Amino acid sequence: MRKEAKDKHFIKKPVYKGGPKALKKFIGENLRYPKEALENKVEGTVYLNYDINYKGEVTDARVIKSVGHGCDEEAVRVVKLLKYEVPKNRGVRVVFHKNIQIHFRLPKEKEKKPPVQYNYVNTPGKTADPNEQKKSSTTITITFNQ
C-alpha cells in the first residue's frame, strides 16, 4: 500500500496570472515615465516591498530604495494595480510580502534622418507640328519625412 505524498508547503503563495513574463509585460504597459524625471534625465531602479491580502490585491507598497523625481510615486502606483491569484489556504487569511524592482530607463532617441525629396518632371513630347511644341514643363516635388 502506497502513501499519498503530502504537499510540502503548508501555505500556498500568491501567483501573478500568466507568470513572471506577464507581470513584466503588465508593468511595461502601465508604467509612464514621469515628466520631471525625463526633464532631468534621471534613470535608475526603484526597489519596493509590497503586501498582498487574501483576495490577491496589493494593499500597501513601500519604497526601499528611491530614485526620486517622481519615479517612486509612479512605481508605487503601478504596483498597486497588480492583481494576484491566491489559492485557498485552509481558511486562513494570510497577508503575503513581496519585493519587486522597477527599472526606469530613458527612451532611446531615434536618429533623425533628413527628409527625402523626389522630383518628378513632366515635359511634353515632340509632335509633328513645331507650332504645337511648348517649352513648358511641370515639376512636382514630393517630400517624405522618415
Taking CA atoms, 141 is separated from 121, 138, 144, in Å, by 9, 10, 10
CATH classification code of 15-104: 3.30.2420.10
Cβ proximity of 20 and 47 under 8 Å: no
Confidence (pTM): 0.68
Q: Pairing mode, if any, of strands 138-144 and 116-122?
A: antiparallel
> Are 118 and 142 in contact, with CB atoms under 8 Å apart?
yes
Tens of pLDDT along the chain (146 residues) come to 666 666 677 788 999 999 999 999 999 999 999 999 999 999 999 999 999 999 999 999 999 999 999 999 999 999 999 999 998 888 888 999 999 999 999 988 766 667 776 776 666 665 555 555 455 566 676 666 65
**CB contact at 8 A, 121 and 138:** yes
- pLDDT at residue 129, as a whole number: 53
Looking at residue 139, its pLDDT comes to 67
Helix (H) or strand (E) holding 65: strand 58-65
